[in-house]
Structures are given as structure tokens and as C-alpha cells.
Amino acid sequence: MDNEKRKSDHPVNPLILMRWSPRSFTSAPVPEEKLNSILEAARWAPSCFNEQPWKWIVARTEADRQRVLEVLAETNRVWADKAPVLLVLVSHTVFSRNGKPNRWNGFDAGCAWGYLALEAVRQGLYAHAMGGFDKAKARAVLNIPEDYEIYAVIAMGEQGPEENLPEELQERELPSDRKALSDMVCEGLYRETGL
């Protein structure tokens, strides 16, 4: 776990700095108990009316993985095909309590993904989310109902050696930095910058 390159301006839970999105994975299977803990962490995410609108489609058999790989953009497939687990994150766009649109479903699913990604690191694994996939194809191939939004495909497993990647991806295999906190926070009123 390489968090040397990430320094926070204020102290935070170390898992937050350890998490990043590598592209090189080993094909070592993810043990059942680790996968369960990772999905369990996401289960405890907060959600509007405690609706828990998200659902994870887990692909880890060869047939299931191939079905998911087929919907990925080629630029993602070239590296994600090594990952032993692929997850597809979908979320119910309608409240089950009253059938009205749930405009917070994406907010809730995103939070669940964040929990999942942090627990993955705690389990010695990495999770890399991808928006680069064919949504219509995913809906058809994975049998996803129309009232579920499809947010991301997530590659998960142990980090692999950089040399396993195509050359152009090797140089990008690094944890990234962040904008300044003052670019993300404003006090009292909306402002472009400034705490």
C-alpha cells in the first residue's frame, strides 16, 4: 500500500490516503470472507429514507467476468480484464416506499461505493471505478431493469506489477493529487474559491 505520494493538509483516516485507483491487478481470487466484508461495508452507507437503493452485480466466475468485460470501453478492458472481481453498481431510481422518483439515488450509491473502496483497502485490495462502459449494452446483457440507473463498473483485486500494463498506462500508474481544499469549500455563500 503506497500512500507515500499522498499527503493530506489536515490529519485524516489513513485508509483515505491509501485508497487509489491502480490499473494493474493480479488475477489472485478474492477470498469469500474479504469480498463479504467489502460488500458489508457498503451495506452500512447512509441513504435517503434508508432506502439503500444500490445493488452490486458481482462477476467473478469466468463466464460472468466475460459478460461484464464485453460492455467495457476498450481502453478499460485492456487492463480490467486481469481483475478477479468486477462489480457493476446499479441503483433504483424510484422510491420503493411510494413509487416516486428518488433523485438522491445516485448520491446514495456513490456513498456506498466510497465505503466499499475504503474497506477494500483495509482488506489489502484495491477497487477502481469505471464510467467507460456501454450502458445500453450493460442493461441488455446483465438483465438490468429500466428503473435502475447503471453507475459504474468496478475492477477489484490485489494490485499487480506496473510492468503488466501496456507501456502508455505504466507511466500513469500513480496515485493522483487533489485540488486545494479552498477550491472545494466556501463559507456562507457560494463562491468560486476561498474558504
Residue count (the chain)? 195
Rounded Cα gap, residues 82 and 156, in angstroms: 9
96: exposed, middle or buried (C-beta count within 10 Å: 0-12, 13-18, 19+)?
exposed
We find the least distance from the C-beta atom of residue 108 to ligand FMN, in angstroms, to be: 14
Nearer to ligand FMN, 131 or 161 (CB): 131
Distance of CA 143 to the CA centre of its chain: 21
We find the least distance from the C-beta atom of residue 1 to ligand FMN, in angstroms, to be: 13
Sequence letter at residue 4:
E
Nearer to ligand FMN, 63 or 177 (CB): 177
Distance of CA 75 to the CA centre of its chain: 17
The cell numbers describing 79, all together, are: 487492463
Strands (E), the chain: 54-59, 85-92, 126-130, 148-157
Q: Which residue is nearest to ligand FMN (CB)?
A: 132
Three-class DSSP category at 18 = helix
We find the least distance from the C-beta atom of residue 155 to ligand FMN, in angstroms, to be: 9
Nearer to ligand FMN, 135 or 191 (CB): 135
We find the least distance from the C-beta atom of residue 7 to ligand FMN, in angstroms, to be: 13
Nearer to ligand FMN, 31 or 131 (CB): 131
Positions touching ligand FMN (CB under 6 A) are 20-21, 76, 129-132, 152, 175-176
We find the least distance from the C-beta atom of residue 189 to ligand FMN, in angstroms, to be: 28
Q: How far is CA 1 from CA 27, 38, 70, 78, in A?
A: 18, 17, 30, 23
Nearer to ligand FMN, 78 or 95 (CB): 78
